[in-house]
Amino acid sequence: MARILGLLFAYICVATVLTQAIGLSYVWSRGKIDGDKMFRIVAVIHNVDLSAELTEQAVAQVTDKEEMSYDEKSRMKAIMTKNLDLKQQALSKGVENLRFDREKLAQDWNHYENVKNGFEAK
């Protein structure tokens, strides 16, 4: 019975991957997705902030062509500062989540050790 369920699960996984490949090739052939859109999709999947890179590129383009006014400089600095603050907040939340996960793992490990020791004692 377990073997049949395992084979059924494997068939479903293979069918899912094939369906995704067929769907992707269909939308690619129809021109709905191109290389740029795929790049942005992969960037979103990997949690890459493209807007920060774009603002840095915009600053470089503006400084190459002409001198920025004081208002433009202050606005660009404010945007870059806000991006930095958001990155720091995300990093601190990530550290808090990691700390929480580590404490939970330690609690679970202690619980496991207690159960194991109780079992061995019996």
Q: What are the tens digits of pLDDT across the range 43-87?
A: 888 877 777 655 666 666 655 556 778 888 888 888 888 888 888
- Tens-digit pLDDT profile for residues 21-49: 998 888 888 888 888 888 888 888 887 77
Full DSSP string of 34-51: -HHHHHHHHHHHTT--HH
Examine the domain organization and report whether 3 and 63 are in the same domain.
Answer: no
Report the C-alpha gap between 64 and 114 in whole angstroms: 66
| Closest by Cα among 52, 62, 54, 58 to 84 | 52
Domain of residue 67 covers: 50-122
What pLDDT is recorded for position 106?
94
Report the C-alpha gap between 81 and 76 in whole angstroms: 8
Examine the domain organization and report whether 33 and 80 are in the same domain.
Answer: no
Beta carbons of 24 and 33 less than 8 angstroms apart: yes
Examine the domain organization and report whether 56 and 112 are in the same domain.
Answer: yes
